[in-house]
Structure 1
Amino acid sequence: MVDRFQAHAASMEGPATHGFAITPSDAADLSEVTRAIYVGGAGNLAVRLLSGADVTFAAVSAGTVLPIRALRVLTASTATNLVGLS
């Protein structure tokens, strides 16, 4: 497969190159820090950001991509089908 952008450096403004399913946990960090989180099912998204701050994004619509650097998704989240993008 041809990757026409292979020689270009990855940047925070560029598209994600990896994705992984997220299972909320109050005790365990994600396998890697996200550059964004895709929300497949509407609800609240409670996260611990890279800064260490815990925040809740209320009433996130299904299909939303939040450009956030998250360490952890907390169990207070009601949003579903979460995908971490990096």
Structure 2
Amino acid sequence: MAQRGMLVAQQSFGKARAITKSDATVYSPPLDAFVVGADGNVVIVDNTGTSVTIPAIAGHVYHITASQILDASTATGITGLNW
């Protein structure tokens, strides 16, 4: 029996792509996650169509569905990830 809070299985992302911040680019399929190379805000459009600002720390994987990474983002070196 697995203990509470233990990681039982881990899945790797199958696709990574460099992101150019843009108010016009819509990702299809949407990104499943993203990571940034340098700290800053990442402004996304989520799966409900709502703009959300995420204060991102370099190297952390943010598991949030995003159809857009908007130009207002200040983080750099953004990489989009899909399963």
Does structure 1 residue 34 correspond to structure 2 residue 48?
no
Q: Calculate the TM-score normalised by the size of structure 2.
A: 0.80
Identify which of 11, 14, 24 aligns with 1:17.
Answer: 14
The letter of the residue matching 1:26 is D
Which residue number in structure 2 is paired with residue 78 of structure 1? 74
**What residue ranges of structure 1 are gaps of 5+ in the alignment?**
1-12
The letter of the residue matching 2:67 is L
Q: Calculate the TM-score normalised by the size of structure 1.
A: 0.78
**In the aligned structure 1, how far is the partner of 2:61 from the partner of 2:48?**
20
Which residue number in structure 2 is paired with residue 69 of structure 1? 65
RMSD between aligned residues: 1.3
**What residue ranges of structure 2 are gaps of 5+ in the alignment?**
1-9
1:40 offset after TM fit, Å?
Answer: 1.0
**In the aligned structure 1, how far is the partner of 2:19 from the partner of 2:58?**
15
1:30 offset after TM fit, Å?
Answer: 2.5
**In the aligned structure 2, how far is the partner of 1:28 from the partner of 1:47?**
11
**In the aligned structure 1, how far is the partner of 2:12 from the partner of 2:46?**
20
Deviations along 1:13-69, one digit per CA (max 9) or x if unpaired, are 7321110000011122125311110111110000001211110012x2111110011
**In the aligned structure 2, how far is the partner of 1:50 from the partner of 1:66?**
14
Which residue number in structure 1 is paired with residue 54 of structure 2? 57
Query: Where in structure 1 do 4 or more consecutive aligned residues deviate above 3 Å?
Result: none
Structure 1 31/81 Cα, relative in aligned 2: closer, same or farther at 3 Å? Answer: farther
Count of aligned residue pairs for this structure pair: 73
The letter of the residue matching 2:61 is V
